Structure 1
Amino acid sequence: MLPEISPATADALRTALDRAGYRTDGVRALLGRDAHAALTRGEPEPAFRATADGGALGVLVRMLLLGAVEPDAAVTAALAPLTPVDAAAAGLLRRANDGWAAALDLRPHGADSGDDEGDGEWWVLSDLDARRQERDHVTGVGGASLTLASATPRTPVGTVLDLGTGCGVQALHASRHARAVTATDVALRALAMARATFALNDLDVELLDGPWLAPVAGRRFDLIVSNPPFVPGPARVDYVYRDSGQAGDDALAALVRALPEHLEPGGVAQLLGSWLHVRGEDWPDRVRSWLPEGVDAWIVQRETTDPALHVGTWQRDAGLDLHSAEARAQAGAWLDWLAAQKVEAVGFGFLTLRRIDGASTTGTPTVVVEDLPDDLTDPLGPEVAGWLDRVDWLQAHATDDALLDARLRLTDGVLLERYATAGDEGWSEAGAAVARAEGPRWRHEVDEPAAALLAGCRGALPLRELVELLAFAHDRPVDALVGAALPAVREMVRHGLLVPVP
């Protein structure tokens, strides 16, 4: 049964959920830190205990989050003015003996991006885990959804396209900073789930049915976000949410090539994706070859997995018993395919594209493909927005004279690290590096003149004067120091270690 929530049902359900406090903060407060942490680990018993005297909120948490069957009288009181019968007719509940159980996953979801748009709070509908092995299973707010949401810049825009919306998570986030949001999907069940989610949150989102970019042929957007089916493997579709039906990373390559035509000049696309590391090929060159002309691109590899871990991870994600004959046969065919394609590893990360032709950012495209230096703990969205701004600034200061005339400041929190090696006579200095302490931990090796130059970058003097002073202090020719320093300065601006001063 597909969910179908009428405006009256949505209004009544919102009233009940709000009255009970079924929000992210309300659920956390009811569970407490320890029970909430246990539930996150998949240990429900502490949560059951914490909700025992939780009133209407306790009933909703046990029924909607913990999968319990709750008595008719308790559910009727908790959902009023919506009756359980009407909730069941909308596809939200099901009869279970003398009580009611959830037919769908309905949970609160909050956004705390730290940007100027403020926080967001919604309810999200998706399939229960019991349905995970169904081909058209609709996933909820999982790790990939949260990763993409945190990596998307939240600059106010006119139009947003959520390509492959699933249950609608990215569209919810986009509603905070866009005038109009369009969402597409190829799966009818996903579209029904997203429609119900938008109705429950009283949001006006245009929903379109169809594969990839076909539903928006001829249209352009200021921002496109997508968590597409990106799991590389044989050309098949076991699960619509993850399998493209095309072999390997062909689907992602085709999407990257096609996306800029659907961006307004200056428009940005933010994607998650996976790419193959093929024996004898350089993976950055492989991904770079997908890019059409006229785009800035920042492609950041977050992690890599070997073929066995890749296959096992996605089989576990589908809820398969890895020891079953079916799972072993699937794994064997998958691994055989990867081996035949000479795949040594699978990369996963972020792709940021910006259409520059006809925009104010016109110039030589900037294309950077790199690895994240460490585990990412801070949201990447503000970093993406900053990267695009810094690329614009570097393009405007592309000549050496323009850069030398600029005033730069060392970013707050940048650290100078010195390291040494042990020998027969004790420790000997081996080098130094500067590194960011917040956001991506970009790190650059520096020599003593470079360290001194960075220390002088306080925004008071143009870079030209700092270099001249440094050349005099170290008795080095100015031209030689300029030639050595400017490429490193550009890299440090791009990585946010140095920021321009107006």
Structure 2
Amino acid sequence: MSDVLPDLSPDLCARLREAFLAARYDTDGVVEALGGAAHAALGRGEPVPALRASGDAGTLGTFIRLFLLGEAEPERAVRSALGGLPVEDAVASGLLRADGGYLRAGLDVRPHGDDQGSWWVVSDLDSDQLGAAVGEDHVLGVGHASLSLVRATSRRPVDTLLDLGTGNGVQALHASRHARRITATDVSERALRLARGTFQLNELDVELARGEWFAPVARRRFDQIVCNPPFVVGPPRVDYTYRDSGLAGDDASALVVRQLPAFLTDGGVGQLLASWLHVEGEDWSDRVSRWLPQGTDAWFVQRDIAEPALYVGTWLRDAGIDPRSAEGRTKAAAWLDWFSEHDVEGVGFGFVTLRRTEGVPTIVCEDLRQAYDDPLGTEAAGWLDRVEWLRGHGSRLLDTVFRVPDSVVLERVDEPGDDGWRTAIRRLHRIDGPGWQHELDELATALLAGCRGLLPLSDLLGLLAVAHGEDETELEDAALPVVAELVRHGMLEVVA
């Protein structure tokens, strides 16, 4: 990577935007030009079908080969495609690189969209595109982690939003759908340059500020904060600013969780990706709960756990380092030694939702490692609503009328017995959202069968106690925690 910082001026971005629009270099245009099969192959890292398909796509094909496929294009074709943007200006800015009589991309500029439209995201070329290792200040493109945070973020309208550690700016792009004013920060000047290019190219007005962590927004508060921090855990070093914080272990994630609530307005929400250590003899939920300041609702959702060797190998390959090479062996040994010295058995990864509250805070840590399709952001917003309802009505659950929503089904697993089939497992499934599951006993199953939006919970428990010869008070004591958990997971709805 060149030490020269890219310089994407407002005029250059405006002219580039015009060229992209004229060529239909957007998410829909690229899919239409390539066709479904070639576009899917490109997503799998197989460029040849897309290269073949782009040959008949005219100016759009030039942009596809230049920015998506990393091909060298004849200067004449690129000059024609850029229209009012002189090639010389594009090269001087760092957007393009001269290669004899050909031109190559100097930056990665690619369409990225949602169900409302398309944007362009500016980032650095990866190691495959460069043909060399990336630099320490490499600005990552839109990867799986970024997309997972996009899907895990609530999109309810807010006035002010902070994108902490903006990188290429993709979180702020999605935030523009629901936030009136956006501030984006980063410790890297290169990242801010490219993020500014992203915002100018998409005609978005985003406030940019440089600095570490929350320093650029000291004494300010926001209605929502999103953060994809450098959450890689291990020895305190910085190989790449996009992933390494220079803090030891999971201290980067801990720092964000500890400090973020102080920068929220009352009732404001923060959502971030995070990693946490699984240490021998310690429950991970106890570890992350200790990070929280007072007055904070928190939902920690663990999506994956990686054992140390797998974790190290994955991140070495992510940096373009062969674990079998001398460099790979040296770094892997030091990393694994650090894990061993600190009794690390695994590394957890997931999403954290935080809310500043004046009430008694709710803190929940749970595993969500099953596959699911629905975005978690909608579920996170609903979880916060349900937690708030329980905070105000938890003492009055017995007076509440509930119903089981249509998205919840009951699975029974029967096994053979001496007197025929008997039910061994009763499992409640929510078939939307993240697919929550709860195993039930016979009494809980009968109770939920009565939750049809007609009788208050106290009446249902009274009937159940009579029918099964149970003590009503004991039944209430056992049922209330289960009911509260089902409400939190959206498996019981409040009717009245």
TM, length-normalised to structure 1: 0.94
* Aligned position for 1:122: 119
Query: Share of identical aligned residues, percent?
Result: 60
Q: What's the CA shift string for 1:471-497, capped at 9, x where partnerless? A: 343343332322222111100000111
User: Structure 2 CA distance, aligned partners of 1:120 and 1:337?
Assistant: 45
For 2:475, the aligned partner's letter is L
* Aligned position for 1:107: 110
| CA-CA distance at 1:35 after TM superposition | 1.1
* Aligned position for 1:160: 161
The 1:19–1:458 alpha-carbon spacing in structure 2 relative to 1, beyond 3 Å, is: farther
| CA-CA distance at 1:86 after TM superposition | 2.2
For 1:326, the aligned partner's letter is E
User: Structure 1 CA distance, aligned partners of 2:87 and 2:417?
Assistant: 76
Matches within 5 A, 1:173-212: 173-212=174-213
Asked if 1:51 is matched to 2:54, the reply is: yes
* Aligned position for 2:84: 81
Instruction: Tell me if structure 2 keeps the 8 A contact 1:271–1:352.
Output: yes
Question: 407, 423, 433: which one pairs with 1:439?
Answer: 433
Instruction: Tell me if structure 2 keeps the 8 A contact 1:3–1:196.
Output: no
Q: Which moved more, 1:471-480 or 1:237-246?
A: 471-480
* Aligned position for 1:367: 363
* Aligned position for 1:347: 348
Instruction: Tell me if structure 2 keeps the 8 A contact 1:373–1:440.
Output: no
For 1:174, the aligned partner's letter is A
Q: Which moved more, 1:245-254 or 1:289-298?
A: 245-254
Asked if 1:38 is matched to 2:32, the reply is: no
User: Structure 2 CA distance, aligned partners of 1:2 and 1:403?
Assistant: 60
Instruction: Tell me if structure 2 keeps the 8 A contact 1:373–1:442.
Output: no
| CA-CA distance at 1:84 after TM superposition | 2.0
For 1:66, the aligned partner's letter is L
* Aligned position for 1:493: 487
For 2:234, the aligned partner's letter is G
Question: 393, 400, 413: which one pairs with 2:389?
Answer: 393
* Aligned position for 1:477: 471
User: Structure 2 CA distance, aligned partners of 1:255 and 1:7?
Assistant: 33
* Aligned position for 2:461: 467
User: Structure 2 CA distance, aligned partners of 1:32 and 1:333?
Assistant: 46
User: Structure 2 CA distance, aligned partners of 1:151 and 1:309?
Assistant: 25
For 1:398, the aligned partner's letter is G
Instruction: Tell me if structure 2 keeps the 8 A contact 1:2–1:193.
Output: no
Q: What's the CA shift string for 1:394-419, capped at 9, x where partnerless? A: 111121xx212222221222110111
For 2:406, the aligned partner's letter is D
| CA-CA distance at 1:427 after TM superposition | 4.6
* Aligned position for 1:384: 380
Pairs aligned (count): 489
* Aligned position for 1:279: 280
* Aligned position for 1:4: 7
Q: Which runs of 5+ in 2 are unaligned?
A: none
SS of equivalent residue, structure 1 residue 398: helix
SS of equivalent residue, structure 1 residue 303: strand
* Aligned position for 2:66: 63
Matches within 5 A, 1:398-437: 398-399=394-395, 402-422=396-416, 427-437=421-431
SS of equivalent residue, structure 1 residue 397: helix
* Aligned position for 2:24: 21
- The CA RMSD over aligned residues, in Å, is 1.6
| CA-CA distance at 1:435 after TM superposition | 1.1
The 1:478–1:424 alpha-carbon spacing in structure 2 relative to 1, beyond 3 Å, is: closer
TM, length-normalised to structure 2: 0.95
Matches within 5 A, 1:254-333: 254-333=255-334
| CA-CA distance at 1:87 after TM superposition | 1.9
Q: What's the CA shift string for 1:330-380, capped at 9, x where partnerless? A: 1110001111111000000011111103xxxxx211000111151232210
Q: What's the CA shift string for 1:101-123, capped at 9, x where partnerless? A: 110000011124xxxxxx24210
Asked if 1:334 is matched to 2:335, the reply is: yes
SS of equivalent residue, structure 1 residue 212: coil
User: Structure 2 CA distance, aligned partners of 1:10 and 1:189?
Assistant: 17
User: Structure 1 CA distance, aligned partners of 2:134 and 2:369?
Assistant: 35
User: Structure 2 CA distance, aligned partners of 1:345 and 1:366?
Assistant: 26
Instruction: Tell me if structure 1 keeps the 8 A contact 2:302–2:369.
Output: no
User: Structure 2 CA distance, aligned partners of 1:373 and 1:315?
Assistant: 24
| CA-CA distance at 1:8 after TM superposition | 2.1
User: Structure 1 CA distance, aligned partners of 2:453 and 2:84?
Assistant: 61
User: Structure 1 CA distance, aligned partners of 2:197 and 2:126?
Assistant: 18
Asked if 1:98 is matched to 2:101, the reply is: yes
User: Structure 1 CA distance, aligned partners of 2:139 and 2:420?
Assistant: 61
For 2:125, the aligned partner's letter is L
Q: What's the CA shift string for 1:90-143, capped at 9, x where partnerless? A: 22111122121110000011124xxxxxx2421000000135531111001001
User: Structure 1 CA distance, aligned partners of 2:14 and 2:214?
Assistant: 33
Instruction: Tell me if structure 2 keeps the 8 A contact 1:373–1:441.
Output: no
For 2:315, the aligned partner's letter is W
* Aligned position for 1:115: none
User: Structure 1 CA distance, aligned partners of 2:161 and 2:117?
Assistant: 17
* Aligned position for 1:451: 445
